[in-house]
């Protein structure tokens, strides 16, 4: 195991990936918990007719009231607390005038900062009654995340995570989006490495205790290609097929994984 002595500023890195100290886990735990609680709080509000801008306001006030800062507010010109991505929106949907409709499936993604640490998580919300194919897509996405996270332990590689996700998703005749990936995080929102949701066993950097990153697969019912709309943010499937995503922030421990953004409400029950 690599250790870090000396000042609070010191950080060891392998392949440009920070190795955090045991005490840094506590910071991530608090940030991850608040992010998860924000998504928990939204659950009863994600109903037919709900306005997406109003959901964003609920999230912003919740985060601020609980000692956090919304990381996305002002991030690269983004002006909201959450991203809300319905149906064929892959990610980075902007809250606004749109009201949710019965049958929508919606991803809500929030990142909070607590004492300088980032907690980043997203999950799927069914709005009212959803179609069986939508339900199936959501189930596949959560299963894919679980399989990816099951690879997180010292000695495995980032390629093992991507491989586990890709082989499962494709076995279900769905596709993995390539244009967006997970990322290192900690005191920085988007840090090294890029965490790909596809790949080959044994490729990529080796996982070591103290690495913090997200896994956030985007899964499409149709083809993997996406395009970004003129607003510069909203990513949609090119073939208009349904898309789904879920995200956890995790840390590599001495013998496995700690999921900082876990919640009993994370995976919707159908």
Least Å from the CB of residue 6 to Co ion: 30
Q: Which of 47, 48, 49, 75 binds ligand MF3 (CB under 6 A)?
A: 75
72 binds, among ligand MF3, Co ion, none (CB under 5 to 8 A by kind): ligand MF3
CA pair distance 193, 97, nearest whole angstrom: 35
Write the CB contacts of 220 (distance below 8 Å, at least 6 apart in sequence).
90, 174, 175, 176, 177, 237, 239, 241, 242, 243, 244
The interface with ligand MF3 within residues 228-247 (CB under 6 A) comprises 233, 247
Q: From 51-59, 76-84, 146-154, 205-213, give the range in contact with ligand MF3 by CB under 6 A.
A: 76-84
Are β-strands 218-220 and 191-195 bridged in parallel, bridged antiparallel, or unpaired?
unpaired
Q: Is 120 among the residues that bind ligand MF3 (CB under 6 A)?
A: yes
Q: Is 83 among the residues that bind ligand MF3 (CB under 6 A)?
A: yes
Q: Is 270 among the residues that bind ligand MF3 (CB under 6 A)?
A: no
What phi and psi values does residue 53 have, to the nearest 5 degrees?
-65, -40
249 binds, among ligand MF3, Co ion, none (CB under 5 to 8 A by kind): none
The interface with Co ion within residues 113-142 (CB under 5 A) comprises 120, 122
Q: Is 243 among the residues that bind Co ion (CB under 5 A)?
A: no
Least Å from the CB of residue 197 to ligand MF3: 12
Write the CB contacts of 259 (distance below 8 Å, at least 6 apart in sequence).
32, 149, 248, 249, 250
Q: From 37-45, 52-60, 69-77, 193-201, give the range in contact with ligand MF3 by CB under 6 A.
A: 69-77
**Is there a contact between 193 and 15 (Cβ–Cβ < 8 Å)?**
yes
Q: Which residues bind Co ion (CB under 5 A)?
A: 109, 120, 122, 214, 247
Which stretches of the chain bind ligand MF3, using CB under 6 A? Answer: 72, 75-76, 78, 83, 92, 109, 111, 120, 216, 233, 247
């Amino acid at each position: 195991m690599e250790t870090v002595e000396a000042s609070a500023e010191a950080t060891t890195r392998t392949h440009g990936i920070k190795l955090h100290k045991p005490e840094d886990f506590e910071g991530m735990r608090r940030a991850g918990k608040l992010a998860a609680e924000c998504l928990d709080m939204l659950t009863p509000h994600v109903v037919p007719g709900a306005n997406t801008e109003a959901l964003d306001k609920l999230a912003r006030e919740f985060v601020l009231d609980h000692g956090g800062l919304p990381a996305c507010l002002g991030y690269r010109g983004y002006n909201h607390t959450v991203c809300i991505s319905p149906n064929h929106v892959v990610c980075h949907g902007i809250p606004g005038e749109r009201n949710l409709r019965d049958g929508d499936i919606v991803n809500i993604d929030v990142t909070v900062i607590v004492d300088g640490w980032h907690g980043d998580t997203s999950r799927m919300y069914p709005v009212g009654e959803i179609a069986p194919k939508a339900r199936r897509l959501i189930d596949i996405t959560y299963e894919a995340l679980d399989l990816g996270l099951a690879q997180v332990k010292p000695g495995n590689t980032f390629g093992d995570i991507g491989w586990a996700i890709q082989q499962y998703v494709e076995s279900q005749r769905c596709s993995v989006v390539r244009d967006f990936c997970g990322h290192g995080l900690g005191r920085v929102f988007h840090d090294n490495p890029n965490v790909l949701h596809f790949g080959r066993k044994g490729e990529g950097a080796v996982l070591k205790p103290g690495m913090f990153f997200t896994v956030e697969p985007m899964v499409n019912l149709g083809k993997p290609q996406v395009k970004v709309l003129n607003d510069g943010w909203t990513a949609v499937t090119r073939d208009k097929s349904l898309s789904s995503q879920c995200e956890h922030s995790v840390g590599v421990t001495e013998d496995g994984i700690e999921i900082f953004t876990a919640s009993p409400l994370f995976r919707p029950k159908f």
